[in-house]
Amino acid sequence: MNGIGNDYVYVDCFQLYTSAMIASVDLPQLARRIADRHYGVGGDGLVLIQPSTVADAAMRIFNADGSEAEMCGNASRCVAKYLRESGICPREHMTLETLSGIREITIAYSVEGEEQITVNMGIPTIHADTLNLQAPTRFVEVNMGNPHAVFFRPEMISTEEINAIGPQISTHTHFLHGTNVEFVSVLGPHDLQMRVWERGSGETMACGTGACAAAVAAIQVQKVTSPVKVHLRGGNLIIEWAGDNQPVMMTGTAKQVFWGKYPIGNE
């Protein structure tokens, strides 16, 4: 499935046989194998949809390099779509357990019949900081349950530049556990353009938590006002934030691409 181009392979661990198989393998290694776009299925990573004792379901996310992520907004919309359409949780409102806490999700429909899924992404923490690369560079650090560094630019970053400086910033010693990196340009009072370098995956078509971080940072420094449409390479997300101590609401679509069976080892 993909959320505006942010694509993962999803495994239904509500099936007992599948759950037992998954429990017996090296998950980081499995994620690397499956996510390989040449020798595997291809994707930004692997997502496990699992039973939960505190929510309707739980989600575990492994990036393409095998590292485990705390949260993914685009993946949470896809999981919600699957839970409803598979009958596991056939409701428009549901809860999802993640490593960054429980998220509330609502599924609605637009006039075209396409799902518009809204996720309560929680309350962000924000502070401005400076990173020393070739010269001191100001940015806004936002935690959306996972870390983000938001850099504002007058013009959108090029592919060559994001490939050069994205990994430098993402793995910089300034960030204890690494960070996702957003490069953002202001298009108007309610519009941002963004490209993202994701920790553990590289540049992706979209990042839900990154779009939230970009919108929150832009609202905080008074570059835009809520609601904010964030334009990403894979599509658009609508982000709403009322300010300090308020949760961020993210709305977007989710699409299933295919389903199938993947062999684990020699099974």
Query: How far apart are the C-alpha atoms of 143 and 156, rounded to whole Å?
Result: 23
Q: Which of 72, 78, 89, 212 is catalytic?
A: 72
> And the tokens for 258?
């295919």
**Active-site residue (options: 13, 89, 207, 212):** 207
Antiparallel, parallel or unpaired: β 6-7 and 2-3: antiparallel
- Bridge-based pairing of strands 202-204 and 191-198 is antiparallel
- Is 78 one of the catalytic residues? no
Sign of the C-alpha dihedral computed for residues 74, 163, 157 and 36 taken in this order:
negative
* 207 in active site: yes
Q: Do residues 195 and 183 make contact, with C-beta atoms less than 8 angstroms apart?
A: yes
Q: Which own/partner contact pairs does 100-108 have at CB distance under 8 Å and 24+ positions apart? A: 100/70, 100/71, 100/144, 100/145, 100/146, 101/145, 102/54, 102/55, 103/71, 103/76, 105/76, 105/77, 105/80, 107/80, 107/81
Catalytic (active-site) positions = 72, 207
